Every structure is written in structure tokens, then in C-alpha cells.
Amino acid sequence: MTFSLTRRQQDIVDYLRQRAGRGLPAPSLDEVCAALGVVSRGSMHKHVAALAEAGVIEPMHGLRRGLRLAAAPAEGVPLLGRIAAGRPIEAVTHDERVDVPAWLRPPGDCYVLEVRGDSMQDEGIFDGDRVVVAARSEARDGEVVVALLDGTEATLKTLRRRGRRVVLQPANRAYAPIEVDADRVAIQGVVTGLMRRVG
């Protein structure tokens, strides 16, 4: 089963990764709440429990134990290129691979794309992020997809279906949705994870 992080769960993972990268001790649940501006401790605990169940963070055994990312073997996944709104994938000519933690890799074939631009920023996908993509030719309504338009231009958008039409919805009000006949769009993959450099 593929586990996709919610925006809040991604914030938690990014915060824990940042602290670990700076050599700081694992924070308590209250410290994570304070750092991320979350008032409800119960809400944060639900996110943490979901991350623990998915193997992303180590389970909390006792209230004094800090939150830390689970140790998971990383595996090299192909970096196929860079993707931006309305532009073709810029191919990477050499055989470059990116280490992706086990909990971010979907079952089956997958690849990584580097994001260029801000058309999906309201979904928490920013310029310079790397998205992990499950190589699929089908997608469900509401999934963030790599879509090839007219066989030439690849874009990263949320998929919406309207009868025989397809809407490729950006997550930034500065960009207009792309609405076309369904036969003009080929799905090349579904985003299942995101990696971001911190610090």
C-alpha cells in the first residue's frame, strides 16, 4: 500500500529531518507542536501515530521519548529530469540516481523529478523539491499527476475529470487550470512522495 504524506505530516517529517541534520536531540510532541504552531496536541498525536504506523517515524514508547525518523534503507531511484508548468521534462542525460527512503518508495516502478516553478505551491510542492512518482498510466480524480499534454509538454498538476474533459488544476491562483479533451492527456505517473533539502 502506498502511503502519501499529508501537508501536516510532511511538515513534521521536514522538521524532524532538519533537527537531526543539525545534530539536535529528538523533540517531544509538545516541542513539535510549538515549532509548527499547532494548538491541538491531540491532532498532532494523530498525525504522529499515522506516521509511526507507516514506519516513517519510530513509535513512541513512553511520554519522555522524543520523536525521531525511523532508520530505513535508502535505494537509488532514477532522476528522470525536471518538470515545470507548461514545459517539457528536461531530460537528465547521465545516469543519475537519487537515494529514496524505503517509506517514500511506492511498490513497482518509480522515478524522481525535480520541480521547477511554483504552480503547485499551495499543495506544499515548491521550486527545487524532488517528487517521487509511481510510474502509472492511470490516476484517480484528485491525485497529483505527471501529465503529458499533446504528446509534447509535461506538467505537474492535480487531475480533475469532467465528463470527456480533463482539468489539470494548479495549486496557485496565479496560474489558470488547463482544460482539454481527455484524449489529449497521457498520465505518466502519480506523485506519492516528496523530498526537500532543509537547512
Collapse the DSSP code of 154 into the 3-class scheme (helix H, G, I; strand E, B; otherwise coil) and give the result: strand
46 catalytic? Reply is no
Distances (CA, A) of 113 to 12, 41, 66, 129: 22, 35, 33, 8
Closest by CA position to 27, among listed 65, 73, 81, 53:
65
Active site residue 4: no
Q: Which amino acid is at 12?
A: I
Partnered with residue 9 across adjacent β-strands are none
Pairing label, strands 130-134, 144-149? unpaired
Task: Quote the CA–CA distance of 173 and 160 in Å, as a whole number.
Answer: 16
Q: Given the residues 4, 28, 46, 119, select the one marked as catalytic.
A: 119
Asked if residues 19 and 26 have their Cβ atoms less than 8 Å apart, the reply is yes
Catalytic position from the list 40, 46, 137, 157: 157
* Residues assigned a catalytic role: 119, 157
